[in-house]
C-alpha cells in the first residue's frame, strides 16, 4: 500500500482521489442490506430472465479464471435488470468429483471436509467480485438434499427402462482400482499413483439409454446456439445411414460354420467387392472362431489391443495392423469365401463391431489390404474405364473430389444424386465385377442390393451412431451412491423410495489407495433385500458427476423442495434458461449430456420442455502465464484477491472484459491492467470536477480548432449517443472488449472538453450520465458511488444506478451533416473527399472527380469504372493501365 497522504502536498487536483477500497465494501454491504438483487420468482409483472453460469467445482480458492468466467456474466445480469427484467442469476457448487478424493488420499482427510472448506473460501471470494448472485437459491451437489434426487431420478429411469446394466471394460490398477483416463500415464500405460501396469477389467456397470435420443439430439430447432457447438455435437453423435448385412461363417476343418456375422456398412453398393472381413478384437465370436493354429497370435493381438487407447486405434495415419483368425466368412450375394481378420481399427462399440472390407472403395481397407497382400476388387468405375486396372489408392469417389465444396460435405448417396443431376463434375459411374449388377448405374445399386438382401432375410437398412450409451457407474466413494441392492435371489433391486437418500457414509478410510473404500465398508455393504428380506449387498458404484450437472439449474428454482426434485410450476415459468454461459471445453460432453437428461426428465413428466437452455455462450479458457491450463497443482494460478486489493474489483472486472474477445480466452497476463485502472480514474476525475484545467495540457480549457460552442455541444451529444448505440449492441452480443474500448473513447472525448465552455453544460451532463449508466454493469461500484454523489448534488433522493433504466439512443443526435469518402484508384486509397451526408451518387462522383489530387493521378485518363461501395461509403476508380 502506498501512502496516499502525499496528495495533500501536491496541487495536482483539488478533487478527492478514487479509492476503491473505501467504496467497494460499502456498496456491497448496502446492496446486500437492501436485498437489491434478490429475485422474486413469483413476480409475473416483469419479463423473466434466467441467466445461468456453470456452477464451479470447489477446487480450493478462486483464481482469475473464475473471475474471467463470472464477471462478464454478472455484467449481463445487471444490464438485463437495467432493462426492467426480473433476472434470476443463481450460483452453486459442483461438489462431487475426483480431485476431492485425490486430496483426501494424499492428505488423509475426509473429502467432504476438504470440499466444504473450499466452498466456504470460494463463497467469500465470489462475494468480493461484486457479483449479484441469488445466494438463497444455492445448490451444493454433495449435500444429501440434492443427491437424494439424483437417486430418485435414477430409480424412475430404471423403472422406465432408460437405465440398464451391462458389462464393459475399465482401466484397472491392482492397487488403486478403476482409473480415469487422465490417471493412466505414459505409453506403457501405468498407474499415476503407484506406477503399476494398467489392465482392462470387465465390470457390470450402469448405463443410460442415451442412444434412444440420438435423433432428437441432432435437432437444434427452437434453440439459438453458436454453430461450432452444434457442429461438434452433431459430429459427436455421428449418425450414419447404411445397412446391416448378414454373413455366415464357412465350415472348416476345426469348425462346422454357419454362425451369423453381422456387419454394418454405409456402402452396401460395394458388397461384391468385399475381399475380407474384419472383427473388432473384442468381438464375442473371436475366441470361438479362431483356429487352433492361429490361437497364440490372435490372443497376443487381443492383449496388445487392450493396451491401446481409442485415439491410437482410430488414428488414420497409423499402420493398419491385424491378424487372420484362421476362419472364413461367406459373402451372401456371391457365395465367395473371404478370410476373417481381427484389427484394432475396428471398434466393438461402433456398429456391430464387424466390417466387410472393400479395399477398392475404402481408404482404411485399402491400406490394410496392401499391407497384408489381400485382393483388391473394384466394383464401381466410370463407364469408359478398364474395371480391372489396378488401383493406386481407394476409389472413394472421383466425382466427389471434383464436386463443388458445399456438395462434397454430403454422403455418397447425395453425391450420386448430384452426379445424375449433371453437375460439371458429374461422371457416370457404373457397377463392375458385381454379377447381375454389372453395367448398371451405381446409383441404383445402393438401394437395390439392400432390397435384394432384405428379401432373403440377409440384411436391411440400418442407422448407426458414433454416440454410445452413457456409462454412469463410477467405482468411487465421492459421488452419489447408486440406490440399488443386489440380492442373490432377486437380482438388482432398486432401494424403496421412502428409504432415500442412500447416505454416503461420513467416515471413510482410503488407506492410501484409490480403490473405492465403500467396497470394504461392512455397515454400508450389508443390507437386506427389499423384496425377499434375505441378506443382500448394496451397490457400491456411485453416479457420474455429469448427472449432478445435468439438472442443477432446475433445482435452483426450488432448492429446498422436500417432496420432489423439481417444482413444475416454477420450472414452466422460468425455463428453458434464457442464457447459459460457461467454458468452451464443455461444448460437447456436459452440454450434450444435459440436453439428453432434460429429454429424459420430460419423458418422466418432470419438465415440459425439450431443451434446457435457449442460448448458450462458450467463453474461452484463461490459461496460466505459461500457456498451460490454470491449476493449483501446476502453480500457475493468479490470485484475484491480490489484484483486488491493489486496484479494486471494478478494475479487475473491467480488465478481464477488456483483454480480448470473451469466447477466445488465452494466457493470463496482468500487463495493461494499469491502463484500465487509469481509465476508471479518469471517469472519476471527470465526474467530480468537470471544470478542472490540466496544467500539463497546452489546449486545456479551449475548444478544438475551428469549433464553436454550438458545434462543440452538438459534437459532444453525438459522441455520447453514438457510444450508447454501439455499447448497447456490444452488451447484447457479448463483445465486452470493444464495449470497454468505446467507453474509453467517450471518456477521451469528454477529457478533450474538460474545463472548456461546454464542460458542465447540459450536453456534458447528459454524456456523463450515459457514461455512468453504460459503465454500471461492468464496473458496478465506482458508478454507484458517482451516481449517488450526482444525485446528492442535484438534491435528488438516492436510488441505485443499477435500478435506473437503460437509456434510449436519440437517433437525431447521431446523424452528421457531412462525411468523408475515401477514394481509391485500382483499390489503393489515394484521397478523401468530404461530401454532404445525404449526397447523391452523382454528387459523390462529381466531388471525387473534382479533387485536384485525383485529377493529377488520373492524368487525363477517364476511369473505366466508378464503383461506389456501400451506398457511397467508398469510391473505387478502376483505370486500365
Nearest-5° Cα angle at 638, 637 to 641: 135
Cβ(772)–Cβ(783) under 8 Å?
A: yes
Say how far residue 495 (Cα) sits from the centre of its chain: 36
Beta-strand (E) ranges in 402-517?
429-431, 459-465, 470-471, 473-474, 480-481, 484-487, 491-494
| Nearest CB to RNA, comparing residues 6 and 560 | 6
| Nearest CB to RNA, comparing residues 98 and 779 | 98
For residue 520, give the nearest of 533, 530, 508 by alpha carbon.
508
Minimal distance, residue 734 CB to RNA, in Å: 11
Minimal distance, residue 136 CB to RNA, in Å: 23
| Nearest CB to RNA, comparing residues 428 and 745 | 745
Neighbours of 841 (CB within 10 A): 12
| Nearest CB to RNA, comparing residues 232 and 370 | 232
The rounded distance, in Å, linking the Cα atoms of 640 and 622 is 13
C-alpha cell at 7: 496528495
The dihedral of CA 411, 414, 420, 426: what is its sign?
negative
| Residue written as grid cell 449492441 | 729
| Nearest CB to RNA, comparing residues 182 and 498 | 182
Minimal distance, residue 282 CB to RNA, in Å: 15
Minimal distance, residue 421 CB to RNA, in Å: 20
| Nearest CB to RNA, comparing residues 343 and 449 | 343
Minimal distance, residue 225 CB to RNA, in Å: 12
Minimal distance, residue 176 CB to RNA, in Å: 11
| Nearest CB to RNA, comparing residues 172 and 301 | 172
- The strand pair at 480-481 and 526-528 is best described as unpaired
C-alpha cell at 126: 465470489
The dihedral of CA 280, 283, 289, 292: what is its sign?
positive
Distance set, CA 758 to CA 138, 765, 767, 817 (Å): 50, 10, 12, 21
Minimal distance, residue 825 CB to RNA, in Å: 9
For residue 686, give the nearest of 776, 752, 740, 779 by alpha carbon.
752
| Buried-exposed string 534-556: b where 16+ CB fall within 10 A, e elsewhere | eebebbbbbbbbbbbbbbbbbbb
| Nearest CB to RNA, comparing residues 209 and 440 | 209
Minimal distance, residue 572 CB to RNA, in Å: 28
| Nearest CB to RNA, comparing residues 162 and 740 | 740
The rounded distance, in Å, linking the Cα atoms of 451 and 458 is 10
SS3 173: strand
The rounded distance, in Å, linking the Cα atoms of 50 and 550 is 16
The rounded distance, in Å, linking the Cα atoms of 481 and 518 is 10
| Nearest CB to RNA, comparing residues 135 and 751 | 751
Distance set, CA 410 to CA 403, 417, 690, 778 (Å): 11, 11, 63, 45
The rounded distance, in Å, linking the Cα atoms of 768 and 762 is 10
| Nearest CB to RNA, comparing residues 575 and 747 | 747
Minimal distance, residue 670 CB to RNA, in Å: 9
- The strand pair at 828-836 and 818-825 is best described as antiparallel
Minimal distance, residue 213 CB to RNA, in Å: 12
The rounded distance, in Å, linking the Cα atoms of 393 and 410 is 21
| Buried-exposed string 147-166: b where 16+ CB fall within 10 A, e elsewhere | bbbbbbbbbbbbeeebbeee
Minimal distance, residue 469 CB to RNA, in Å: 8
Nearest-5° Cα angle at 593, 48 to 660: 65
| Nearest CB to RNA, comparing residues 401 and 507 | 401
Minimal distance, residue 852 CB to RNA, in Å: 11
Minimal distance, residue 180 CB to RNA, in Å: 3
| Nearest CB to RNA, comparing residues 181 and 805 | 181
Amino acid at each position: 500500500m502506498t501512502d496516499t497522504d502525499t496528495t495533500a502536498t501536491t496541487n495536482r487536483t483539488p478533487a478527492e482521489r478514487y479509492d476503491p477500497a473505501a467504496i467497494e465494501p460499502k456498496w456491497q454491504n448496502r446492496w446486500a442490506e437492501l436485498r437489491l438483487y434478490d429475485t422474486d420468482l413469483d413476480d409475473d409483472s416483469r419479463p423473466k430472465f434466467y441467466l445461468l453460469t456453470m456452477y464451479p467445482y470447489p477446487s480450493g480458492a478462486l483464481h482469475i479464471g473464475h473471475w474471467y468466467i463470472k464477471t462478464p456474466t454478472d455484467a449481463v445480469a445487471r444490464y438485463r435488470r437495467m432493462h426492467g427484467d426480473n433476472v434470476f442469476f443463481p450460483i452453486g457448487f459442483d461438489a462431487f468429483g475426483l480431485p476431492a478424493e485425490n486430496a483426501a488420499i494424499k492428505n488423509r482427510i475426509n473429502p467432504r471436509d476438504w470440499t466444504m472448506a473450499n466452498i466456504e473460501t470460494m463463497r467469500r471470494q465470489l462475494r468480493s467480485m461484486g457479483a449479484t448472485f441469488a445466494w438463497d437459491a444455492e445448490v451444493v451437489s454433495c449435500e444429501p438434499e440434492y443427491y437424494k434426487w439424483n437417486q430418485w431420478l435414477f430409480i424412475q429411469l430404471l423403472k422406465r427402462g432408460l437405465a440398464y446394466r451391462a458389462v464393459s471394460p475399465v482401466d484397472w490398477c491392482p492397487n488403486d482400482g478403476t482409473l480415469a483416463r487422465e490417471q493412466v500415464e505414459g505409453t506403457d500405460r501405468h498407474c499415476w499413483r503407484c506406477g503399476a501396469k494398467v489392465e482392462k477389467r470387465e465390470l457390470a456397470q450402469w448405463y443410460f439409454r442415451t442412444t434412444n435420443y440420438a435423433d432428437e439430439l441432432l435437432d437444434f430447432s427452437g434453440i439459438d446456439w453458436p454453430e461450432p457447438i452444434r457442429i461438434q455435437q452433431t459430429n459427436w453423435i455421428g449418425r450414419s445411414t447404411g445397412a446391416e448385412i448378414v454373413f455366415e461363417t464357412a465350415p472348416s476343418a476345426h469348425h462346422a460354420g454357419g454362425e451369423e456375422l453381422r456387419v454394418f456398412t454405409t456402402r452396401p453398393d460395394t458388397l461384391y467387392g468385399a475381399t475380407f472381413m474384419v472383427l473388432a478384437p473384442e468381438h464375442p465370436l473371436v475366441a470361438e472362431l479362431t483356429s487352433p493354429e492361429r490361437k497364440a497370435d490372435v490372443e497376443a493381438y487381443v492383449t496388445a489391443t487392450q493396451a491401446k487407447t481409442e485415439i491410437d486405434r482410430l488414428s488414420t495415419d497409423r499402420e493398419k495392423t491385424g491378424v487372420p483368425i484362421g476362419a472364413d466368412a461367406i459373402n451372401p450375394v456371391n457365395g465367395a469365401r473371404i478370410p476373417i481378420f481381427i484389427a484394432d481399427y475396428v471398434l466393438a462399440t461402433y456398429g456391430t463391431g464387424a466390417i466387410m472390407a472393400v479395399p477398392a472403395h475404402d481408404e482404411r481397407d485399402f491400406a490394410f489390404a496392401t499391407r497384408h497382400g489381400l485382393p483388391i476388387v473394384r466394383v464401381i468405375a466410370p463407364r469408359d474405364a478398364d474395371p480391372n486396372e489396378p488401383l493406386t489408392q481407394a476409389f472413394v469417389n472421383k466425382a466427389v473430389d471434383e464436386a463443388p465444396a458445399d456438395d462434397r460435405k454430403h454422403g455418397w448417396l447425395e453425391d450420386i444424386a448430384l452426379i445424375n443431376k449433371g453437375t460439371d463434375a458429374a461422371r457416370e459411374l457404373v457397377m463392375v465385377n458385381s454379377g447381375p449388377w454389372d453395367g448398371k448405374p451405381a446409383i441404383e445399386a445402393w438401394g437395390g442390393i439392400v432390397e435384394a438382401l432384405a428379401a432373403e432375410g440377409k440384411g436391411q437398412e440400418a442407422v448407426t451412431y458414433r454416440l454410445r450409451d452413457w456409462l454412469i457407474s463410477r467405482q468411487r466413494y465421492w459421488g452419489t451412491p447408486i440406490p440399488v441392492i443386489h440380492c442373490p435371489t432377486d437380482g438388482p433391486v432398486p432401494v424403496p423410495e421412502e428409504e432415500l437418500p442412500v447416505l454416503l457414509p461420513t467416515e471413510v478410510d482410503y488407506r492410501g489407495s484409490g480403490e473405492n473404500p465403500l467396497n470394504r465398508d461392512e455397515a454400508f455393504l450389508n443390507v437386506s433385500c427389499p423384496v425377499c428380506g434375505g441378506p443382500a449387498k448394496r451397490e457400491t458404484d456411485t453416479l457420474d458427476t455429469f448427472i449432478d450437472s445435468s439438472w442443477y439449474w432446475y433445482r435452483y428454482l426450488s432448492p429446498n423442495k422436500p417432496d420432489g426434485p423439481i417444482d413444475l410450476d416454477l420450472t414452466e415459468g422460468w425455463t428453458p434458461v434464457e442464457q447459459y454461459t460457461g467454458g468452451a471445453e464443455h461444448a460437447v460432453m456436459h452440454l450434450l449430456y444435459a440436453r439428453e437428461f432434460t429429454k429424459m426428465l420430460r419423458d418422466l413428466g418432470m419438465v415440459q420442455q425439450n431443451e434446457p437452455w435457449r442460448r448458450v455462450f462458450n467463453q474461452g479458457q484463461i490459461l496460466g502465464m505459461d500457456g498451460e491450463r490454470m491449476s493449483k497443482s501446476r502453480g500457475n494460478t493468479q490470485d484475484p484477491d491480490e489484484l483486488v486489493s491493489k486496484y479494486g474489483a471494478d478494475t479487475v472486472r473491467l480488465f478481464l472484459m477488456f483483454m480480448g474477445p470473451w469466447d477466445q480466452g488465452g494466457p493470463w497476463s496482468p500487463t495493461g491492467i494499469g491502463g484500465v485502472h487509469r481509465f476508471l480514474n479518469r471517469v472519476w476525475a471527470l465526474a467530480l470536477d468537470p471544470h478542472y484545467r490540466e496544467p500539463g495540457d497546452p489546449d486545456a480549457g479551449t475548444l478544438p480548432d475551428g469549433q464553436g460552442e454550438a458545434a462543440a455541444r452538438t459534437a459532444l451529444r453525438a459522441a455520447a449517443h453514438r457510444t450508447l448505440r454501439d455499447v448497447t449492441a456490444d452488451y447484447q452480443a457479448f463483445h465486452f472488449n470493444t464495449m470497454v474500448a468505446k467507453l474509453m473513447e467517450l471518456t477521451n472525448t469528454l477529457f478533450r472538453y474538460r474545463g472548456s465552455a461546454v464542460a458542465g453544460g447540459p450536453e456534458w451532463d447528459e454524456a456523463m450520465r450515459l457514461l455512468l449508466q453504460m459503465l454500471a454493469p461492468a464496473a458496478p461500484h465506482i458508478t454507484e458511488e458517482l451516481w449517488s454523489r450526482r444525485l446528492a448534488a442535484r438534491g435528488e433522493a438516492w436510488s441505485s444506478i443499477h435500478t435506473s433504466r437503460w437509456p434510449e439512443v436519440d437517433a437525431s443526435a447521431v446523424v452528421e451533416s457531412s462525411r468523408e469518402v475515401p477514394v481509391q484508384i485500382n483499390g489503393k486509397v489515394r484521397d478523401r473527399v468530404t461530401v454532404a451526408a445525404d449526397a447523391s451518387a452523382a454528387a459523390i462522383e462529381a466531388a471525387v472527380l473534382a479533387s485536384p489530387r485525383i485529377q493529377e493521378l488520373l492524368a487525363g485518363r477517364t476511369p473505366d469504372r466508378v464503383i461506389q461501395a456501400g451506398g457511397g461509403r467508398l469510391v473505387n476508380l478502376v483505370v486500365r493501365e
